[in-house]
Structures are given as structure tokens and as C-alpha cells.
Chain A
């Protein structure tokens, strides 16, 4: 007696929406990167759930590529945050108006 797949899809959609709302409403740039991790984990749950229900391991392989992108995003993103903090002395995204005029 296994759990039907739409339960996993509902959970994944809820996680993704929570991460999306967090990206839009939070102003601390580190919390915005944390919410992006939340959205990537939601897609990972979707991949693994479909790999289980379609009996195809390709879904589990794709989680590795998502993981690679997540690790690269953390490395480059936090390096950018440190560089911005060094030049502007803040991590509030409301004050990042370098490209506005």
C-alpha cells in the first residue's frame, strides 16, 4: 500500500510556492538564496517520486545534476554576496540600486 503520487506533487508544489514567496518578499539576500535551495529541493522530490512510480532511475540521476547546479549556485552566489558586502557594506537587496538610474 504505497502513497499515491499526487500527494508528493502537492507537497512539492507547496514547497516550491513557499520558496517563490520567500524570494519575492524577503530582503536579506542570504535568505533569498536559502529560498532558492528550497525550490531546488521541491524539484528533487518531484524527480525522485516520478522515478519511483515510473520505475525509471533516470529521475534519480537528474537529482545529481540539480545538486551540481545547487552547489555551483551556492559557491558563486555567496562569493557575489561577499563582494557586494565589501563594496556597499550591506546585504539588503533594497539598497542594491547600482543598475538603476
Chain B
């Protein structure tokens, strides 16, 4: 069973990695990279790294890729007209997702209260992945953690300075 999951995730990752390089349109490359990020997160689940799964989805697929899509749409010169001709495919996929959400809510919406009660009663028996990572990050790896925050601060200031227009020519007021 583990081989089936690994084969699926590895196959999709390899295919989308090739698509990122091979596709002409940068928007399609970014969307192929989005699919690859999701399947790398699935691979983290099979490797028992549940906290990294959530971090991968939030940081890579949520923040970094949106940033890339913004840059692609901001910097490419002209938008091709065929973006406006794909509404039927997106309508099909969006309709399927809406039907799926409706089915899930219809099945589990009734038993929501009992689910909350059951999870409240169960006590955490052993230390999970998130607790272990947090404990290790704040004891053994405390100094690299602080250095990482310093790197983020430097990157933030650098991005602000680089993207500010004619910083040196502005008169001191």
C-alpha cells in the first residue's frame, strides 16, 4: 500500500516538474508548480512529517506561489485572449467541487456536535510530530532559529529598499 501512494505522488511530482520546465506560458508553469507542491505535501504525510505537510501547504502553495503568480501577471506584457475562453472548463471543475462540498456537509453536518464531544474527551496519549518539532526547535536549534528570523528581517528590508522608486534621488526633508 505504501508503494501505491509513493508511486502516485512520485509520478505526479516527476510529471509536473517536467511540465514546469517545458511549458511555454509562465502562468502554466506556476500552476504546474502548485500541483507539485501539493503532491510533495502528500509525500510528507507518507514520511510521517505532518507538521511539514501543513507548513508546505501554507507557505509554499499559499504564500510563495501567489507571489509568483502576481509577478507573472504584473510583468508579462500582454494577456492572451484565450484566458477568456476557458470559462466552461472552470465552470465544470467548480461545479464538481461545489457538489462535493454539499455532499460532505450533508453527510457530516448532522453529526458535528458529537464529533466535537468525542475529540474533546480523547486525551493526547503520546507526543506528536508538532510537539516534538517545537521542543527540538526551541532547545537544540534555538540559535539557528534566531538566525533564520534575522535572515527574514534582512530580506524584508532588502525587498522594501529594492522596490522603492528612486530612493537615492529623493531630497531629504
CA A76 to CA B18, docked complex, whole Å: 26
Q: Are B68 and A33 in contact (CB under 8 A)?
A: yes
Number of chain B residues whose Cβ lies closer than 8 Å to a Cβ of chain A: 57
CA A78 to CA B73, docked complex, whole Å: 13
Contact of A52 among B20, B47, B67, B158 (CB under 8 A): B47
Q: Are A70 and B159 in contact (CB under 8 A)?
A: no
* Any B CB within 8 A of the CB of A25: yes
- For residues 74 through 100 of chain A, which have their beta carbon under 8 Å from a beta carbon of chain B? 74-76, 78-83, 85-86, 91
Which residues of B lie under 8 Å from residue A85 when comparing CB positions? Answer: 75
Q: Are A3 and B64 in contact (CB under 8 A)?
A: no
Number of chain A residues whose Cβ lies closer than 8 Å to a Cβ of chain B: 55
What does DSSP make chain B's interface, helix, strand, loop or mixed? helix
Contact of B47 among A31, A48, A71 (CB under 8 A): A48
* Any A CB within 8 A of the CB of B30: yes
Known: A78-B71, A80-B162. Contact between A72 and B155, CB under 8 A? yes
Q: Report the nearest A residue to B165, measured CB to CB.
A: A86
Q: Mark B85-122, 1 if CB is under 8 A from A, else 0.
A: 00000000000000000000000000000000000000
CA A61 to CA B141, docked complex, whole Å: 8
Given contacts A48-B44, A48-B49, A80-B162, 11 further A-B contacts (CB under 8 A): A8-B47, A26-B21, A37-B64, A37-B68, A52-B49, A60-B49, A63-B49, A64-B145, A75-B155, A79-B158, A81-B71
